[in-house]
Amino acid sequence: MTPLNPIMPDSKPLRVSVLLSGSGRTLENLHEAIEKGDLQIEIVQVISSHPDAYGLTRAQNYGIPAITIDYRDYKGSPQDYSQALTEAVETVNPDLIVLAGFLRHWQFPEKYEQKIMNIHPSLLPAFGGKGFYGSRVHQAVLDSGAQFSGCTVHFASQIYDEGPIILQKIVSVSPEDTVETLAQRVFEQECLAYPEAIRLFHEGRLELQDQRIRIRSQ
């Protein structure tokens, strides 16, 4: 097995593109981790699928170049939308692409396999797939009677919420939980999980074997 990323922790910061569709809370979390010195990354680009996404305002406040590639301009032509995304990403040539609540399907080139991370608010493969996002996921967890939920960081594939799992964080589900209370506790774990996964990638500690991610000890 060889590391999926050869960059070691004492080298230059990891250059990261962030793709989002909404409020940008995950972008905010990553920015705070950078400010605290917990992440050696530079967010070089933000792309939104919607022009009204508050994540664009966050990016502007942080001084990060941001653009919109509006999915509505490509209705009926998902291939053209994917091509537009690819061309935009390639203008900055990032080391890693982070999906931060990005709700559009991107048919990305093969060269980006194991270079695109996604975070999902459940313990995949449960409660994942097309149509499972945000409050819909938490409502499905509550409706199922599951006693545990959490979040999953994984490398993206061409199929929604599939791809090798990097790490997961678990939370208990209480009978008194609402969608809002469960979502809050899961998001608290997301704020820990995503930076951790990115650090592991940056340190060259993620290895792929038989479609499973192994975390190499330091």
Domain boundaries, the chain: 13-112, 118-218
What percentage of residues in the chain have a pLDDT greater than 90? 87
pLDDT at 194 over 90: yes
pLDDT at 1 over 60: no
The fold adopted by the segment(s) 118-218 is: Rossmann fold (3.40.50)
Look at residue 152 in the predicted model and tell me its pLDDT.
98
The hierarchical CATH code for the domain 13-112 is: 3.40.50.170
Average pLDDT of the segment spanning 180-201: 97
| Distances in whole angstroms, Cα of residue 130 to Cα of each of 39, 120, 159, 161 | 31, 12, 9, 8
Comparing 89-93, 96-100, 131-135, the range with the smallest average pLDDT is 131-135
Mean pLDDT for the chain overall: 93
Q: With bands split at pLDDT 50, 70 and 90, how would you rate the model's confidence at 131?
A: confident
Look at residue 120 in the predicted model and tell me its pLDDT.
96
Look at residue 144 in the predicted model and tell me its pLDDT.
96
pLDDT at 11 over 80: no
Instruction: List, in order, residues 6 or more apart from 118 with CB less than 8 Å away.
Output: 99, 102, 153, 154, 155, 156, 161, 163
Q: Do domains 13-112 and 118-218 have the same CATH topology?
A: yes
Would residue 120 show up in a list of annotated catalytic residues for this protein? yes
pLDDT digits (tens, 9 = 90+) for 29-84: 999 999 999 999 999 999 999 999 999 999 999 999 999 999 999 987 899 999 99
Query: pTM to 2 decimals?
Result: 0.93
Q: With bands split at pLDDT 50, 70 and 90, how would you rate the model's confidence at 12?
A: confident
pLDDT digits (tens, 9 = 90+) for 53-64: 999 999 999 999
Q: Which of 31, 120, 138, 202 is catalytic?
A: 120
pLDDT at 9 over 80: no
Look at residue 3 in the predicted model and tell me its pLDDT.
64
pLDDT at 128 over 90: yes
